[in-house]
Chains A and B, each alone.
Chain A
Amino acid sequence: MNKTSNKRAVIVGLFIFIGLLFLIAGILIVGNLRNTFKDKMKVVSLFDDVNGLQKGNNIWFSGVKIGTVFNLQFYGESQVKVILNIETSAQQYIRKDSKVKITSDGIIGKKILVIYGGTSKSNEVQEGDTLEVEKSFTSEDMINTLQENNKNILAITTDFKVISKKLVAGEGTIGKFLNDNSVYSNINAATISLQNASEKAQKLIGSLAAFSEGLNKKGTLANELTTDTIIFNSIKTTVLQLQSIADTAAVFIANLKQTASNPNSPIGVLLHDKESGARLKETIKNLESSSKKLDEDLEAAQHNFLLRGYFKKKAKSSNADK
């Protein structure tokens, strides 16, 4: 009697134990499987570079989580095929011409896939469709482009400086200059490139403004910048180069003014030439406004907490020089 009841107790105990184990395991696992109960569809996207995107990263559409990255596979020579798992409830909002990009979520956040755009002209996305990718620029890319731009502008403006100097000093060569069509066309070409350059500079300063705005905004690139000294240094050189561009532009304008006051100078030609005159004016305006913006940006940069230290150091060293 005693024996049988004991045996029963052991068996019942065993079942309770197994039951509890299953219950606990169930609770812990079901939480992660919860989303599998929602209807899902798969969409594909091809990336050159996924920037560390991982399986299971979230997919956002208009800031709403609508799915996860299902899988990543190498594709073709160097591309990555990303398979997205998207809730079918979001299907109606995603169009075939919607685009995909990779960004990150917060300061130290994980990578996320963002689906955006799309026009009602296109149909709803369907299972297995491929969504186009827009290349995303990293901050590094942007700064590299900026630097190249700067170099170009610097070269152009240096040329101009030389030319305008010659104009000022070149009384003896006026005739030659006037008769020399190649010089004229050179100036013309240079003016055009200067115009382009100054437009670029303006754009550059625009992006710099946006960039520094980003710096001021809490928790975007701040972390990256503080930890990445290379980027910090590139910003520093960019700023310095911009300063020298502005200097050169100022010299150039001063030279031009001086030249214009000389009735014998070839500027007359330029002034009479309506097209090039207007172009030159615009160039100067552009340069002026860009230098103003640059001033503002530098001002902003000085107040930026990340660069504050750098400027303080600079002020200290200039004080020490005095």
Chain B
Amino acid sequence: MDKSRLQHIINTDESVISIKGLYKSFEDLEVLKGIDFNLFKGENIAVLGKSGTGKSVLIKIIVGLLKPDEGEVYVLGQQVDKLNRKELDALRLRIGFSFQHSALYDSMNVYQNLAFPLTMNIKNLSKKEVNNAVDEVLDAVGLMDKLNQMPSDLSGGQKKRIGIARTLILKPEIMLYDEPTSGLDPITSTEVIALINEVQQQYNTSSIIITHDLTCAKNTGNRIAMMLDGQFLRIGKFEEVFDSNDEEVKGFFNYNFIQ
């Protein structure tokens, strides 16, 4: 990875996501216990943690799918849980969300999947404009030949890339990736990691990448947040986080690289 290319756009003065004292629980299970962090413009943060520690819950709260129990969540200057439906929808158009299992609409083919968010949100688009937009994002993810296939015919990696393409079509300012490399072989993972970095460059986005994969975190995140037991244990550059004698951090590092 060419790290130097990634650094130049980060603007640490302007935070696009700002979270203070976030708590969230389901029934008796407390998932988030006091999360505080800022995502700066143009920055990629990789949130690293074990499965089932509430990493996905964090980004679902950011995008308004879940409501926080306590705490303030500001996205692009707006407090997410205080918005009404219309305002929330307007905000969501500026956020891209890539799901763990891609969540492609399986009743539609690739073209319809990509065109759907566009045509549903922007009225009176000509067919040509839609086609151009679809071609552009398909080109960006490098799957021009899959235009008329059904999601069930695609491989896992292809689905992931189409899923990312679907969010890109609305030209988001923030990208949220939920486990982008889970269930993929190492080569495909590398491709997806490259894509995430490309997107950051090309579309000038700020991103949060939720992952349990250390390679992915190392290669995509400008900063890495180590999440444990509903809190950020450490946050900082890869070296800062893992240059530590903390048992938990070491255990995680060993799990990824030795096993």
Interface set of A (CB-CB < 8 Å, partner B): 1-2
Contact = CB atoms under 8 A, between A and B. Distances in A.
Interface of B: 25, 27, 69-70
A43 B69 CA distance: 71
5 contacts: A1-B69, A1-B70, A2-B25, A2-B27, A2-B69
Contacts of A2: 25, 27, 69
Contacts of B27: 2
Report, nearest first, the 3 A-B pairs whose CB atoms are least far apart.
A1-B69, A2-B25, A2-B69
Contacts of A1: 69-70
Nearest to B26: A2
B28 to A, nearest CB: 9
Contacts of B70: 1
Nearest to A1: B69
B193 to A, nearest CB: 37
Nearest to A6: B27
B182 to A, nearest CB: 29
B29 to A, nearest CB: 11
A69 B180 CA distance: 79
A1 B27 CA distance: 11
A2 B26 CA distance: 8
Contacts of B25: 2
B67 to A, nearest CB: 10
A2 B70 CA distance: 11
B100 to A, nearest CB: 25
A292 B25 CA distance: 103
A50 to B, nearest CB: 67
A209 to B, nearest CB: 78
A2 B25 CA distance: 8
A319 B69 CA distance: 103
Contacts of B69: 1-2
A1 B69 CA distance: 7
A6 to B, nearest CB: 9
B122 to A, nearest CB: 36
Nearest to B69: A1
A295 B25 CA distance: 100
Nearest to B23: A1
A5 to B, nearest CB: 10
A1 B25 CA distance: 10
A234 B53 CA distance: 95
A175 to B, nearest CB: 124
Nearest to B28: A2
B86 to A, nearest CB: 24
A183 B27 CA distance: 118
B27 to A, nearest CB: 7
B70 to A, nearest CB: 8
A10 to B, nearest CB: 14
A1 B70 CA distance: 9
A303 to B, nearest CB: 72
A9 to B, nearest CB: 13
A84 B69 CA distance: 68
B20 to A, nearest CB: 17
A106 B27 CA distance: 66
